[in-house]
């Protein structure tokens, strides 16, 4: 294995500005844990040039979503941020836009509109209870 060539921990990018292909590739890397451009092109299941995939991966690196290592001459892409972290930033942006930044208003709206089912609400409650007990 080679070295990690980019570290984008400090980059904060608005996930709502990601394009469709960027989101698809990022989801595939999250799913696989790591992937090469060739593997991602195959998994996309549609005809795209190798250069297109590599350009989008480079942009995702520049935006701080991915890092890569080099094995011989092959770039292996890894998530730089978790799916949950990126989703949380996207939801926070939605709260800013529509709820004057109030996460409580956003969550109450989701509950009132049945966007969360009973099982999801129970899972959230269990998670909150565990975090409270752990002192977080």
CATH topology of domain 15-82: Arc Repressor Mutant, subunit A (1.10.10)
Matching residue, tokens 């109450």: 108
Q: Which tens digit of pLDDT belongs to each residue from 79-125?
A: 999 999 999 999 999 999 999 999 999 999 999 999 988 899 999 99
Share of the chain above pLDDT 70, in %: 92
Other beta carbons within 10 angstroms of residue 89's beta carbon come to 16
DSSP assigned state of 29:
H
Q: Are 80 and 8 in contact (CB under 8 A)?
A: yes
Query: What are the boundaries of each domain within the chain?
Result: 15-82, 99-133
**Which alpha helices (DSSP H) does 1-136 contain, by range?**
20-32, 37-44, 50-62, 83-98, 103-112, 118-133
- pTM for the predicted model, two decimal places: 0.78
């Amino acid at each position: 294995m080679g070295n990690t060539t980019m570290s984008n921990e400090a980059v904060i990018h608005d996930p709502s500005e990601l394009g469709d292909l960027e989101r698809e590739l990022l989801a595939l890397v999250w799913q696989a844990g790591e992937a090469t451009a060739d593997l991602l092109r195959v998994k996309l299941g549609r005809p795209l040039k190798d250069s297109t995939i590599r350009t989008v991966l480079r942009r995702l690196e520049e935006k701080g979503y991915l890092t890569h290592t080099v094995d011989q001459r092959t770039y292996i892409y890894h998530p730089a941020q978790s799916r949950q972290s990126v989703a949380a930033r996207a939801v926070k942006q939605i709260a800013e836009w529509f709820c004057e930044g109030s996460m409580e208003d956003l969550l109450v709206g989701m509950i009132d509109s049945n966007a969360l089912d009973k099982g999801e609400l129970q899972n959230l409650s269990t998670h909150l209870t565990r975090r409270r007990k752990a002192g977080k």
